């Protein structure tokens, strides 16, 4: 069992991780269309929808992966892993100019489930 001080520290660290994750996720959602404009070869409307659907399909598949990860390694470790991978995604995506690399990076959205982990 955790002591009162450890519980408080755990709550504050969870609040910090969740707050940063939510802030960066909103930032990334706003800037993602601008990142797609710099891709080479320039994607058509269909290709843009395809790239977005890859990201959305990754999020759907990720819900099952995250649930399994929470059951196997626990919520705290799952939150740390998800935060690290999503922060890498959010740091790298604005710098990508290659169309195919951008599509591959969309698959990292599998770990974009911080609200699920927190609950």
Domain with 35 in it: 7-118
Please report whether residue 110 resides in a domain.
yes
Number of domains in the chain: 1
Please report whether residue 44 resides in a domain.
yes
Please report whether residue 1 resides in a domain.
no
Do 66 and 82 touch, CB atoms closer than 8 A?
yes
Please report whether residue 31 resides in a domain.
yes
22-67 pLDDT per residue, tens: 777 777 777 777 778 888 888 888 998 898 899 889 989 998 998 8
pLDDT at 114: 67
Please report whether residue 104 resides in a domain.
yes
Q: State the pTM of this model.
A: 0.70
């Amino acid at each position: 069992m955790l002591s009162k001080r450890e519980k408080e520290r755990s709550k504050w660290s969870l609040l910090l991780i969740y707050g940063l994750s939510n802030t960066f996720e909103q930032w990334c959602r706003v800037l993602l269309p601008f990142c797609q404009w710099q891709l080479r070869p320039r994607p058509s409307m269909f290709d843009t929808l395809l790239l977005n659907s890859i990201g959305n399909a990754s999020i759907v598949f990720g819900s099952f992966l995250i649930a399994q990860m929470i059951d196997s390694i626990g919520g705290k470790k799952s939150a740390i892993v998800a935060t690290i991978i999503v922060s890498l995604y959010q740091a790298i995506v604005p710098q990508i100019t290659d169309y195919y690399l951008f599509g591959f990076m969309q698959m990292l959205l599998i770990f974009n489930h911080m609200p699920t982990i927190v609950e």
